[in-house]
Structure formats: C-alpha cells, structure tokens
C-alpha cells in the first residue's frame, strides 16, 4: 500500500454534496487521497462555491463554450493534468464523455450512481425504482467505462424503499448512503486495495461481522 496521498480531481455539474463528502473525508490525516481540484462543467454550479469555501482550488469549464465535446474534454483534461491529478472522481458530473476521454483515464476514473447498478442506469433512478416496485435500491461506486453508468463495481450500499416514498424521500435516503459510500470507495481505490480482474473487482476477502443480508420488509 502506497503511503503518499493520491491527488484526486473531482468533476461536478451541480450541488456538489458528494464532492463535499469527499473533501471532508480527505481532511483526515490518514486518508489516502487529497483533493487537488474541483472542476465544474457549469459556472453556476453551487458546488464550486462550497469547494472554494473548503479551500479547494476550483475551475469552471463551461461546456456551452464548446461546439465539439472533444474540445471541452481537452480543456478538462488539461486542467486535471495542470493540477497533477492521478485519479478522477465524478460526482454529479452531467456530461456524456467520449470513449477517447474515458480511455485516457482508464482505471483512474470513478463515478457514483444512485442505484444498485446494473439496475436503473441513466437518469430518474428513484422514479424508476418506485415504478418497478423494488424493495431495495441504493448506490454504486464504479470505475468509469465508455458506456454510461457501466464499469467495474467497487462498492454498493443498499437502502430500503418505504411505503409512501416519493422520488424525493427515497433520493434523500439514498443520498445519505452515497455520502458514506463514496469516501469509503475512494479510500479503497486510492490506497491500492481495488484490483480489476475481468471487469470485476474481486473481494473483499474479510469475515462478515455484521448482519449478512438486509431483509426488507423485516421479519417482524
Ligand atoms: C448524486 O445522486 C449522484 O449519485 C449522481 O448525481 C447526484 C449528484 O448529487 N451521479 P450531488 O451534486 O453530489 O449533491
């Protein structure tokens, strides 16, 4: 395990609550990553002010300035490299990426998605989870591959769906889990404890010391 903190660039487009959970976690002396910069595809993203307030260098790269996706990505890439970023963490980054950009960060770029992938990739996950009647949903941190919301799964958290849930109430419950899952997954990744084999992440090889399954509804 490497002891030097990995430099992480976070990509956002909006409110940046997951970004803040990573920034907060990275303040711990023994956290294996430091947040080198936050880049936003939207200058008006709330997350930019939050990151700056937390002392993290920020930059807005307005995607609307570019005709070609590749030109936008070239600027993004240059900003990441200028900050000597080693790993990229997407946190509510709402731009589709070209395969070339994704490949240039292969096995060095993570994303968080608000469902238990491969269920419900794409947008409106909570509305679709409610429509499907699933009893458990959750969130996933995965390594980014060119196909949207796909790639080796590093970590997941499951959350119960409650009677009377709305997309908002369910989304809030999942978001709480996201804020715990992403720092955990990034720590595993940055400390070199994530190995990708055949597009899967094997493990963990640890004894289970808690309830082995989440049953929903509960037995009583
Ligand atoms: C989160 O639900 C994340 O899973 C998804 O976009 C949302 C971003 O929220 N990719 P925030 O900007 O981190 O608050």
Which pLDDT value is given to residue 197?
96
**How far are the Cα atoms of 14, 19, 128, 140, 170 from residue 59, in angstroms, in the given order?**
13, 14, 34, 27, 32
**Is residue 16 lining ligand 1, measured as CB closer than 6 Å?**
yes
Distance from residue 220's CA to the centre of ligand 1 (Å): 34
Q: What are residue 58's DSSP bridge partners? A: 38
Ligand 1 atom closest to 14 (CA): 12
Cα 35 from Cα 25, distance rounded (Å): 10
**Is residue 45 lining ligand 1, measured as CB closer than 6 Å?**
no
CATH number where 45 lies: 3.40.50.170
How many structural domains does the chain have? 1
Cβ atoms 153, 188 nearer than 8 A:
no
Cβ atoms 39, 59 nearer than 8 A:
yes
Residue 113 annotated as catalytic = yes
Which pLDDT value is given to residue 211?
82
**Is residue 137 lining ligand 1, measured as CB closer than 6 Å?**
no
The answer to whether position 215 is within a domain reads: no
Domain housing 30: 6-191
Residue with tokens 């920034």: 23
Which pLDDT value is given to residue 94?
96
Cα 6 from Cα 167, distance rounded (Å): 36
**How far are the Cα atoms of 101, 136, 159, 220 from residue 215, in angstroms, in the given order?**
40, 9, 10, 11
The answer to whether position 129 is within a domain reads: yes
Which pLDDT value is given to residue 212?
85
Rg over alpha carbons for the chain, rounded to the nearest Å, is 17
Which pLDDT value is given to residue 108?
98
The answer to whether position 202 is within a domain reads: no
Q: Residue 171's closest CA among 117, 130, 209, 206?
A: 130
Q: Which parts of the chain have pLDDT scores under 70? A: 1-2
Ligand 1 atom closest to 175 (CA): 2
The answer to whether position 52 is within a domain reads: yes
The answer to whether position 134 is within a domain reads: yes
Within 10 angstroms of residue 108's Cβ, the number of other Cβ atoms is 16
The answer to whether position 70 is within a domain reads: yes
The answer to whether position 16 is within a domain reads: yes
The answer to whether position 219 is within a domain reads: no
């Amino acid at each position: 395990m490497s002891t030097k903190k990995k430099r992480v660039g976070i990509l956002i487009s909006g409110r940046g609550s997951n970004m803040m959970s990573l920034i907060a976690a990275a303040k711990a002396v023994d956290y294996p990553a430091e947040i080198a910069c936050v880049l936003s595809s939207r200058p008006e993203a709330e997350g930019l002010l939050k990151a700056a307030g937390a002392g993290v260098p920020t930059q807005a790269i307005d995607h609307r300035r570019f005709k070609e996706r590749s030109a936008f990505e070239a600027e993004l890439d240059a900003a990441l490299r200028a900050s000597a970023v080693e790993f990229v963490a997407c946190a509510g980054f709402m731009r589709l990426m070209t395969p070339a950009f994704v490949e240039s960060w292969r096995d060095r770029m993570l994303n968080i998605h608000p469902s238990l992938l491969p269920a419900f990739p794409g947008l409106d996950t909570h509305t679709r989870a409610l429509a499907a009647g699933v009893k458990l949903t959750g969130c996933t941190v995965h390594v980014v591959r060119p196909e949207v919301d796909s790639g080796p799964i590093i970590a997941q958290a499951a959350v119960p769906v409650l009677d009377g849930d709305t997309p908002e109430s369910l989304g809030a419950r999942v978001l709480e889990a996201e804020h715990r899952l992403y720092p955990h997954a990034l720590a595993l990744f940055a400390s070199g404890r994530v190995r990708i084999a055949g597009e899967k992440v094997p493990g963990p090889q640890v004894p289970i010391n808690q309830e082995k399954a989440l049953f929903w509804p509960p037995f009583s």
